[in-house]
Amino acid sequence: MTPRRALFTAVLAACILTTACSRPDTTPLPTTASPPFVCDHVPLQAVERMTGLRNPPAKGSFELAPADGDREGWCGVYRPDEEEVKVLDIELATNNDPGRVESEVRDGAKRLPRILADADGYYSATRFGDHAGALAVLIRGKSMLVVDMDRGAEGRDHEADVVALMRLIAPRLLGDAVPSPTPGKGS
């Protein structure tokens, strides 16, 4: 075997072994929200596992103690390349549709498990082009928290991930206690 052919064979074998032996990270999301955070309130570790991206760029902020009482804000997490494709969008807004949850559940969405005592919500799988994702919506009073993941990490349960992220951030963003912002990425 020539040295060139031996090198080619070794490189090919290394590529095959690397591809065959690498598995998607299916580790569950953390069960407690701990720093570091993106956008002051979203755990970076959870975002990295859900999206499969390491240290992704994030933009946005949340206003949790406004003078008018209406909490609002957003956080966008992006693919770290020139295109800045948004892979995860979290929005805190006013809900103007009191029948939203029941309507979505009738149309096939699944009801969220209890996250906050006086809140109700739903979740479902989504498709964005060739990419699989999921959506979760939690409504408490007139506030609505949306976790919309357009591009989840391959091999993960995207619905379980958006529900788990909702469990992590809803108490901080919709709960009675207003947490102080935690310095972090996307602040």
CATH number at residue 20: 3.40.1000
Query: What average pLDDT score do residues 72-93 get?
Result: 93
For the chain, give the percent of residues with pLDDT over 90: 59
Mean pLDDT of the chain: 85
Local structure of 26: helix, strand or coil? coil
Does residue 186 sit within a domain? Answer: no
3: confidence class by pLDDT, cuts 50, 70, 90: low
Does residue 181 sit within a domain? Answer: no
pTM: 0.81
* pLDDT score for 66: 83
Q: What digits encode the pLDDT tens for the residues 66-76?
A: 888 788 999 99
Does residue 106 sit within a domain? Answer: yes
Does residue 184 sit within a domain? Answer: no
Cβ atoms of residues 132 and 125 within 8 Å: yes
Does residue 36 sit within a domain? Answer: yes
For the chain, how many structural domains are there in total?
A: 1
Does residue 182 sit within a domain? Answer: no
Between CA 129 and CA 137, with CA 135 as vertex, the angle to 5 degrees is: 150
What kind and span of H or E run contains 93? Answer: strand 86-94
Does residue 187 sit within a domain? Answer: no
Nearest to 39 by CA among 169, 153, 174: 169
The range of the structural domain enclosing residue 56 comes to: 3-174
| Cα distance between residue 31 and residue 167, in whole Å | 8
* pLDDT score for 68: 82
Nearest to 150 by CA among 83, 73, 76, 94: 76
Does residue 149 sit within a domain? Answer: yes
Q: What digits encode the pLDDT tens for the residues 117-163?
A: 999 999 999 987 788 899 999 999 989 999 999 989 999 999 999 99
